[in-house]
Amino acid sequence: MDESTTRIPADAALERPAPAAAWPPRVPRSAHDARIGVRVVDALDAAARLLEWDLWEGDDGEHEDTVALVEVARSVVAERIRAGADLERAHLVALCDLLVTLEDLRRELRDNEVDERLRALTGVQAGLGRLRGIASVSTILDLAPQEVCRSCGFDRAILFRVQNSQLIAEAVHWENDPDGAATLLQVARENPADLTHMLLETEMIRRRIPMLVADAKGDPRVHRTIADAADTHSYVAAPIMPEGRVIGFLHADRYLQQRDVDEFDREMLWAFAEGFGYAFERTVLTERMRAQRDQVRSMVQSTEQLMNELCDTEIAVSHVEGEDSAGVGRAAAMLASGPSRLDQLLTRREVEVIKLMAAGETNAGIASRLVISEGTVKSHAKHILRKLRAANRAEAVSRYLRISALGDQQ
């Protein structure tokens, strides 16, 4: 509130205030708040009568800061008492009683204001606590506007992200109107705002502060397309900057309540935006760590599978080395003369096949090297296993290499 709506000069006429119910409240009023409002109006009416004022000075009788009005009235009454040496006793007593009443009201309003802020901050903390438990970036972005309304008492909220010097709408919440929210989100996404020097958000990026737009219809700094689509009269906006760099914005208003936002709304949104920035950063880090964990887990599984395959091969070779020595001895004795006896046991083509098998070639590779079909390779491999008394290819290769080694030693 500017100074003109709170200053009450002693020699000026005062404009009579509107009923308390018409005063724009900062947050939804409780029954206790309404009772205080009635008492404030009664006290200000009494001040007007005792000080012989005809009108209350103000803006069409609407005052947002009740505490300031009571404070000004209390100051004026106190000054009149100090300067009222010629006042009648009854009038002076009435002024003194009024001063006590105004002082009590001022103290009660201050206490009530502190309680309001504590309740609001408690709600903000509760909302942020619910968001901190979310592990998905897309989910926390979708739910942020809803939590803004739930914890701060707004009717609508929009979450924007800053990307390539543009303001991109990410999520919208509109109390009890999901269709309206979807329409507004579509309009905002189809009309991203360029962060030029004329835009309100550009100033917030530069100054790192939240702002209150009191006249969204006439303020040239707002994004006109989005403001017209939302049909908002006033709103508050706060930057999201977890590490000092602005990464997005939250906008909110009280559209359904049909009242303008005030400084208290701006402070609450600012508190939420600050906490949300850290919650969002935590979620981003958690999601990245989860992705890295899954990647490491996949690598470990692949390594484990490879190790299992190597171990299985080693076990097969060990089985060959530990089998009946008499059988191996007979095979070795039968092929004691080395490669010449191997040539007698296996055909020339089978020798070529077993050599390529020992070199690690697959059936397809052997077929390509020898210019034969894979079926022929399989047939040769079957004969080789039978002739070398091997159970599988690995065992046949092992026996071939041992027999070849014996031939080299001779």
Structure confidence by residue, pLDDT tens digits, 43-94: 888 887 887 765 444 333 344 467 777 888 888 888 888 887 777 888 888 8
How far is Cα 69 from Cα 57, in angstroms, rounded to an integer? 10
CATH topology of domain 134-286: Beta-Lactamase (3.30.450)
How far is Cα 4 from Cα 10, in angstroms, rounded to an integer? 14
CATH topology of domain 323-409: Arc Repressor Mutant, subunit A (1.10.10)
Scanning 133-217, the segments in alpha helix (DSSP H) are 137-152, 178-190, 200-207
Structure confidence by residue, pLDDT tens digits, 335-371: 444 455 677 778 889 989 998 988 888 999 999 899 9
Confidence (pTM): 0.56
**Nearest alpha-carbon partner for 377 in 349, 358, 348:** 349
Structure confidence by residue, pLDDT tens digits, 156-176: 999 999 998 999 999 999 999
Question: pLDDT confidence of 314, banded at 50, 70, 90?
Answer: low
* Per-domain residue ranges of the chain: 3-124, 134-286, 323-409
Helix axes 393-409, 348-358, angle to 10 degrees: 100
Phi, psi of 251, deg, nearest 5: -115, 145
Residue 295 has a CB neighbour count (10 Å cut-off) of: 10
> In this structure, what token pair is assigned to residue 359?
């070199």
> In this structure, what token pair is assigned to residue 155?
């009717």
Using DSSP's 3-state secondary structure scheme, residue 373 falls into: coil
